[in-house]
Every structure is written in C-alpha cells, then in structure tokens.
C-alpha cells in the first residue's frame, strides 16, 4: 500500500509508504492521499492529523519516473498528490525526517504546523529540473518565510537544513533524529483534547484573517467567533473546569 492510515484517540496518522523511492509521489499514491484526506474531513471523531513518510524520509516530491511514463499526480480539485490544494478541515501536522523536497516540501507547506528532526532537509528543487514549484511553493513559501529566504530557496533550488528553517519560524518543534512522528503525535493529541468547535473557528480566523483589512479585523472576527460563546461546548468547558474533570465535547 502506498499510504498507511491509522486513527487513535482522535488523531489520524498518514504515512506515505514508498521508501524505495524516498516516498516520491506517483498517481496511485496521490489518489490514496486524496482518499485519506477525505476520510479525515468526513469523520467527526478525527480531531487532528499527522502526515509523515516511511523509511527515514518525508517525501522527495514528484516521482520523475512516473512523470516520464505519463502519470498525472495533480488531481482535479485537490492538486499535487491529492493534498496540495485539498480542503483540510482539520489541523494537519507534518512530521519530517530526512528529505522533504520539491512537491514533498509543498505538502509540508500545506500543513498547519511542522515537527522536524535535526536530520531533516528541505528544498524546492524544481528549478534544477527545469520545473517550477507551482504546487504551493511559489505562493505559500513567501507567506511563511521572509521573502529574501523564500527567494533563495525557490531560485537556487538548494537544500536547507531544518535548523535554518526552524530559526526562521517555519518549524514548530525541532527534535532528535527519529523522533519527529512521536513528537508530532503528542502535539496533535494536545490539539485533539481541546474543544473541536473552538479549534475549528480559531483555525478559520487565523487563516482568513491574514487577508482582512486592518480596520475590519475585529468586526469580522466577532461575526465568526460569536457562536462559540453560546455553544454547548463552551458550557461544557466551563462545567468541566468547575467540576475538575475532562470535558466531553460535542462539537456544537
């Protein structure tokens, strides 16, 4: 199977499973990733997701051999790998070991957070193959890194160590080699334990608010967040705090 999928305690884990190709994406893998995302979106018991790669690497991007065979890895509506342009209704955390290159790095950029091992390496290497990083690299990277650093990554195609990108704010947690998945799952479990409605609304404002005019920030925020304060989850959160117990969320 090109993709392994599991769920435990509200956290889904997607493992790209083509270690013989450094988890490069062929069409079969893209379709499997698209299916995994659809399942995560559809199942209310899944609160957060982690995506990683098997065999010590995250993903080396598009499988160039499959590309030469005429395979199409960009799917209608969901983009490269069935992931880069997909609607991600739940928070996603990338757990990166080894290489996250080209389209693999663009999968990382589509996620909400990144946990990387000290051995992780990131690069948008498309220009070295006469290609362009149009699966998110060109438009997401300058929104997540300073423009000078983003320009260096895009235009040189060079590979950067995790430490450099962590210093620039792209990596949330930097861990020892082999520890990225475990740490990402711990981070996901922390998110999954919170009120699902509050997480969803907060995430929406974080994303949409970047495009709002400054004069409209609070008005738009209040319109979106007001229902949270009258929700069943808000009452449950307060009651659970008062009664010194874990809340039982309903997501409404």
Average pLDDT, the chain: 95
Q: Identify the band that residue 174 occupies on the pLDDT scale cut at 50, 70 and 90.
A: very high
Secondary structure (DSSP) of 104-136: HHHHHHHSSEEEEETT-EEE--GGGGT---TTT
Q: Which of 151, 123, 136 is nearest to 59 (CA)?
A: 123
pLDDT-based confidence at residue 252 (cuts at 50, 70, 90): confident
pLDDT of residue 89: 96
**For the segment 185-209, what is each residue's pLDDT rounded down to a tens digit?**
999 999 999 999 999 999 999 999 9
List the beta bridge partners of residue 13: 6, 50
Q: How far apart are CA 72 and CA 246, in angstroms?
A: 47
Structure confidence at residue 250 (pLDDT): 87
Q: How confident is the model at residue 41 (pLDDT cuts 50, 70, 90)?
A: very high
* Catalytic residue IDs: 106, 126
For the record, the structure tokens of 215 come out as 């004069």
Q: What is the pLDDT of residue 251?
A: 85
Nearest CA to 74 out of 155, 161, 7, 132 is that of 132
Give the pLDDT of residue 23.
97
pLDDT the model gives residue 79: 97
Give the closest residue to 36 by CA, choosing from 61, 74, 59, 5. Answer: 5
Rounded Cα gap, residues 95 and 184, in angstroms: 6
Can you list the positions of beta strands (E) in the chain?
A: 3-8, 11-16, 48-53, 74-75, 79-80, 92-96, 99-101, 113-117, 121-123, 160-161, 173-175
> What pTM does this model have?
0.95
User: What is the reported pLDDT for 177?
Assistant: 96
Residue 5: phi and psi, rounded to 5, are -135, 135
* Per-domain residue ranges of the chain: 3-192, 196-242
Residue 251: alpha-carbon gap to chain centroid? 22
- The band of 236, judged by pLDDT with boundaries at 50, 70 and 90, is confident
- Residues 85-144: pLDDT tens digits? 999 999 999 999 999 999 999 999 999 999 999 999 999 999 998 999 999 999 999 999
Q: What is the dihedral of CA 61, 105, 189, 41, to 10 degrees?
A: -60
3-192 CATH fold = 2-enoyl-CoA Hydratase; Chain A, domain 1 (3.90.226)
- Residue 248: left if φ>0, alpha if ψ -120 to 50, beta else—which one? beta
């Amino acid at each position: 199977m090109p993709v392994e999928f599991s769920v435990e305690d509200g956290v889904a884990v997607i493992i790209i499973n083509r270690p013989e190709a450094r988890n490069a994406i062929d069409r079969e893998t893209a379709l499997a990733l698209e299916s995994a995302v659809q399942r995560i979106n559809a199942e209310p018991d899944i609160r957060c997701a982690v995506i990683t790669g098997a065999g010590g690497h995250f993903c080396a991007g598009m499988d160039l051999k499959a590309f030469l065979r005429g395979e199409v890895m960009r799917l209608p509506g969901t983009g490269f790998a069935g992931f880069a342009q997909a609607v991600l209704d739940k928070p996603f955390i990338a757990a990166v070991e080894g290489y996250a290159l080209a389209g693999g790095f663009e999968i990382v950029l589509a996620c909400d957070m990144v946990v990387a091992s000290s051995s992780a390496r990131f690069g948008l290497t498309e220009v070295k193959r006469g290609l362009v990083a149009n699966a998110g690299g060109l438009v997401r990277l300058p929104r997540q890194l300073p423009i000078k650093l983003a320009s260096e990554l895009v235009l040189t195609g060079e590979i950067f160590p995790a430490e450099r990108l962590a210093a620039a704010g792209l990596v949330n947690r930097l861990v020892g080699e082999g520890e990225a998945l475990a740490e990402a799952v711990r981070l996901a479990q922390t998110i999954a334990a919170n009120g699902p409605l509050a997480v969803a609304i907060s995430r929406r404002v974080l994303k949409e608010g970047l495009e709002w005019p400054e004069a409209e920030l609070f008005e738009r925020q209040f319109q979106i967040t007001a229902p949270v304060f009258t929700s069943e989850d808000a009452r449950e959160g307060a009651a659970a705090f008062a009664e010194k117990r874990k809340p039982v969320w309903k997501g409404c």
